[in-house]
């Protein structure tokens, strides 16, 4: 249980692997730009109580593996990161405004996958073992309720 995170009424372990790319896959994430993007991602995650477990910035895409609280959806998190980094980077680096005339630094969309300590098969087996009554499809009811 040492890897579980806690809030006032919740214990959780929610991890996401998130990947997004630059618009037109332009290889702009180098040197000072890459460092500033990393710093902004760290600030945004910290402000949202999201722990960055691992991250990597390539020339045209970003990978982060994060632990997020349950009150933040992955879509909210990605929207916040991509929106705030794009806006701040466009304001701070005028050369990016010339590269991306549409005022968007990131391409639409993203990849996300969850991570956990148990497999789907373990969860299915656990649910299957929850009571001894005959099954009614794939959704059992414990008659001791």
Residues of the chain short of pLDDT 70, as ranges, are 1-2, 118-120, 123, 126-127, 130-145
pLDDT computed for residue 133 by the predictor: 53
Residues spanned by the domain of 42 = 5-128
Q: Is 140 within a domain?
A: no
Q: Is 71 within a domain?
A: yes
Query: What pLDDT, in 10s, does the model give residues 40-72?
Result: 999 999 999 999 999 999 999 999 999 999 999
In 3D space, the residue among 63, 85, 78, 69 whose CA is nearest the CA of residue 19 turns out to be 63
Q: Is 99 within a domain?
A: yes
**Tokens in use for 68?**
């997020």
23: three-class secondary structure by DSSP? helix
Using CA atoms, how far apart are residues 34 and 31, in angstroms rounded to an integer?
Answer: 5
pLDDT computed for residue 39 by the predictor: 95
Q: Is 55 within a domain?
A: yes
**The length of the chain, given as a count of residues:** 145
pLDDT computed for residue 135 by the predictor: 53
Structural domains in the chain (count): 1
In 3D space, the residue among 99, 98, 96, 28 whose CA is nearest the CA of residue 62 turns out to be 28
Q: What is the pTM of this model?
A: 0.81
CATH number of domain containing 75 = 3.30.70.1290
Q: Is 33 within a domain?
A: yes
Using CA atoms, how far apart are residues 145 and 141, in angstroms rounded to an integer?
Answer: 9
Using CA atoms, how far apart are residues 11 and 24, in angstroms rounded to an integer?
Answer: 40
5: three-class secondary structure by DSSP? strand
């Amino acid at each position: 249980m040492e890897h579980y995170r806690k809030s006032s009424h919740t214990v959780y372990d929610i991890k996401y692997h998130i990947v997004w790319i630059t618009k037109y896959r332009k290889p702009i994430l180098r040197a000072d730009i890459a460092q500033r993007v990393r710093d902004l991602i760290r600030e945004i995650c910290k402000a949202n109580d999201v722990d960055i477990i691992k991250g990597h910035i390539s020339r045209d895409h970003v990978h982060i593996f994060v632990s997020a609280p349950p009150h933040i959806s992955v879509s909210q998190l990605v929207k916040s990161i991509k929106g705030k980094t794009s806006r701040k980077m466009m304001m701070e680096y005028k050369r990016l405004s010339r590269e991306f005339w549409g005022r968007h630094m990131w391409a639409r969309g993203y990849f996300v996958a969850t991570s956990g300590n148990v497999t789907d098969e373990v969860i299915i087996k656990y649910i299957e073992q929850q009571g001894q009554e005959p099954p009614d499809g794939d959704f059992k009811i414990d008659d001791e309720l």
